[in-house]
Amino acid sequence: MNIAITGASGFIGRRLLKILAKDGHKLHVLSRHAGTNLPNGVRLSVWDAMKGPPPLDALRDATAVIHLAGEPVAQRWTADAKRRIRDSRVLGTRHLVAALEQLPQRAEVLLSASAIGYYGSRGDEILTEDSPPGAGFLSEVCAAWEKEAAAAEALGVRVTRLRVGMVLDPRGGALQRMLPPFRLGLGGKLGSGSQWTSWIHLEDLAALFRFALDRPAGAVLNAVAPNPVTNSHFTRELSAALRRPAIFPVPALALRAIFGDMAEVLLASQRVVPQAAQAAGFQFRFPQLAGALANLLRK
């Protein structure tokens, strides 16, 4: 399969790129950086997602497109940062679909990343792919982002939007940032600790993307493990996996002082389940948090 992929320099993209290359797919990366380090045989086209459509040659022979590109959410949300977070996803996806529209022969499938931020903070409510969007900045961004991706369906492209939860891998993302304080015995729950955390092992996330490439698994997939946990539970499991105490809770007020509006991501309660993926037959290798952490921290 010929696959064009955006956002390949992120830690999710790097893992997916490596796996797809190993599977023998022909890969074409769209990146802002001409010097992006890529596996042998992977082609590169330079594309700034916020400035306009990508070069058509990057998509002309693609049978599938995987769209991961977006400004990192994990930063202090200044007005400018919020603009970049929104525009990189909404305008970037609009520009990508505009390029597909110009091609006489288009990709058969578009896998577009989204996030469980779509649901907002919903307490103990169990959230499936059919749950409505929530309120707040990230919910609005995700809804607009997904709307732009869904526009490709009118072009005859099969579109799947993957709402990604907290991705676990020690080499990137939230877990990488958590490990130093937890290893020093300085970890602890965030706020009350009662908020639900929906997570996924990076290996399962990559496998779910591959699964969705091959079959119409659903217009929306919650890319999370089937067993979400509360933040207190997550803290206990990580503490146990590292054999370190975790007795230093971080009050919600302190999080808001440090991160500003971005603290809503850390304090949001999202009890999300992968109903559509499991109904389509996807099997998680790491359905339980303890097993996922044991695997990741053994490496």
**Residues 272 and 198: beta-carbon distance below 8 Å:** yes
Question: Helix, strand or coil for residue 172?
Answer: strand
Decide if 94 is inside a domain: yes
Instruction: Note down pLDDT in tens along the chain; length 299 residues.
Output: 999 999 998 889 999 999 999 999 999 999 988 766 787 889 999 999 999 999 999 999 999 999 999 999 999 999 999 999 999 999 999 999 999 999 999 999 999 999 999 999 999 999 999 999 999 999 999 999 999 999 999 999 999 999 999 999 999 999 999 999 999 999 999 999 999 999 999 999 999 999 999 999 999 999 999 999 999 999 999 999 999 999 999 999 999 998 899 999 999 999 999 999 999 999 999 999 999 999 999 86
Decide if 221 is inside a domain: yes
Q: Can you read off the two tokens belonging to residue 46?
A: 């330079």
For CA atoms 266, 272, 276, 277, the dihedral sign is: positive
Decide if 230 is inside a domain: no
Q: Measuring CA to CA, which residue among 9, 7, 110, 104 is closest to residue 56?
A: 104
Decide if 18 is inside a domain: yes
Decide if 173 is inside a domain: no
CATH code for the domain of 160: 3.40.50.720
Query: C-alpha angle 24/25/31, rounded to 5°?
Result: 130
The total domain count for the chain is 1
- Find the Cα–Cα–Cα–Cα dihedral 192, 124, 280, 277, rounded to 10°: -20
pLDDT digits (tens, 9 = 90+) for 111-145: 999 999 999 999 999 999 999 999 999 999 999 99
Domain range for 210: 2-168+200-225+272-284
Decide if 137 is inside a domain: yes
Decide if 72 is inside a domain: yes
C-alpha distances out from residue 69 to 134, 137, 242, 255, Å: 23, 18, 32, 27
* Block residue for tokens 């907002």: 120
Decide if 99 is inside a domain: yes
